[in-house]
Amino acid sequence: MCNRPARSAPLHPEAPVTPCTELDPPEQDLLQSHELELTRRHFLAASSVVSAGLAVGISPAAAQRTSASAQANMVPITLTINKQQRTLTIDTRTSLLDLLREHLDLTGSKKGCDHGQCGACTVLLDGRRVNSCLTLAVAAQGAEITTIEGLGTPDNLSPAQSAFLAHDGFQCGYCTPGQICSATALADEVQHGELSQVSFETGHTQHPGSPAGSPAGVEHPDLTDDEIRERMSGNICRCGAYPNIVAAVRQLTRNGGRA
Ligand code: FES
Ligand code: FES
C-alpha cells in the first residue's frame, strides 16, 4: 500500500493520508508506468514528425524533391576492408568511420570527437594511418582499409596488440583500437626510416643499427620516448595510460614491428 497523499489533498501537516490504491500492487505500478512510457514515446515520436513537417512547412511535393536529391547523393563504391572486397551504395557525405560502424557493423573503430582531434577512429588506409572520421568514404574508393578487427584475432594477436597486452597499455580500452592501429603504422614508418620533428631536435636522426628485419640500406631514427610521444600525439587517452602505451610502442619498434 502506498501512503503518499492524494494529489488533490492539501499540503498541510494535518492533511489526511489517502492511500493511492490505483498504484498498488507494485507489479501494476510497473506495468502502468511501462504502458505510460510506451504511449508517451509513441506520442512524442509521432508529434515530432508532425510538428517538424509543420514547422518547416514541407509539402508532399517538397518531400518528394528532398528524397530525389537524397537519391542523387547515393553512389556505389568498392573498397577492400580487412582483406574482403565490399561494394556498397552510400551517400557521398558518409565518413569512412560511419561506413565502418553504421553500415558494416565494424564497431572496433571508435567515435570519440568526430572532429579529427582524438584519434579514436584511426584506421589504416593503404597502410597509412588516417582519422576515419575526417575521411569521406568515397575518397577511399579502391583503397585497402585495415581496422582493428583486421589486425589480429584473439588467438593470433598482431605484434602491436601483443605489445599493448604485455605492457598493459590501456585502461577503459576506448582509445585502444585507434592507439594500436596508430602504433602499427608507426612501426612501419620507422621501418622505412621516416623521421619526425623530434628526430631533428634530439639529433637522433640515424639508428646505430637496423632493427631486426628492416630492409637493407635503410637508416632508422633512434626512437626515444619523446619521439614515441610525438609520433603517437594524435591519439588521446582520457584514462592517461600513456606510460604503458609508450612502453608498448617502444617494445614494438625495438623489435622492428614484430611481436
Ligand atoms: S573520432 Fe576521429 S579523431 Fe576523434
Ligand atoms: S584507455 Fe581509456 S581512453 Fe585510453
User: CA 91 to CA 125: how far, in whole Å?
Assistant: 20
pLDDT average, residue stretch 166-182: 98
Weakest mean pLDDT among 38-52, 213-227, 231-245: 38-52
Label residue 163 exposed, middle or buried (CB < 10 Å: 0-12, 13-18, 19+): buried
Q: Is 114 in the pocket of ligand 1 (CB under 6 A)?
A: yes
Weakest mean pLDDT among 125-129, 132-136, 209-213: 209-213
How far away, in angstroms, is 88 Cα from ligand 1 center?
Answer: 23
Mean pLDDT of the chain: 81
User: CA 257 to CA 210: how far, in whole Å?
Assistant: 12
Contact status, residue 79 vs residue 103, Cβ threshold 8 Å: no
CB neighbours (10 Å) of residue 251? 19
pTM above 0.75, yes or no: no
Does 219 have pLDDT greater than 50? yes
The number of helix segments (H) and strand segments (E) in the chain equals 9, 5
Domains in the chain, CATH or no CATH each: 1-72 (no CATH), 152-259 (1.10.150.120)
Helices (H), the chain: 26-56, 60-72, 96-98, 148-151, 159-166, 176-191, 197-202, 225-231, 242-254
How far away, in angstroms, is 230 Cα from ligand 2 center?
Answer: 18
Please write the tens of the pLDDT for every residue from 83-115: 999 999 999 999 999 999 999 999 999 999 999
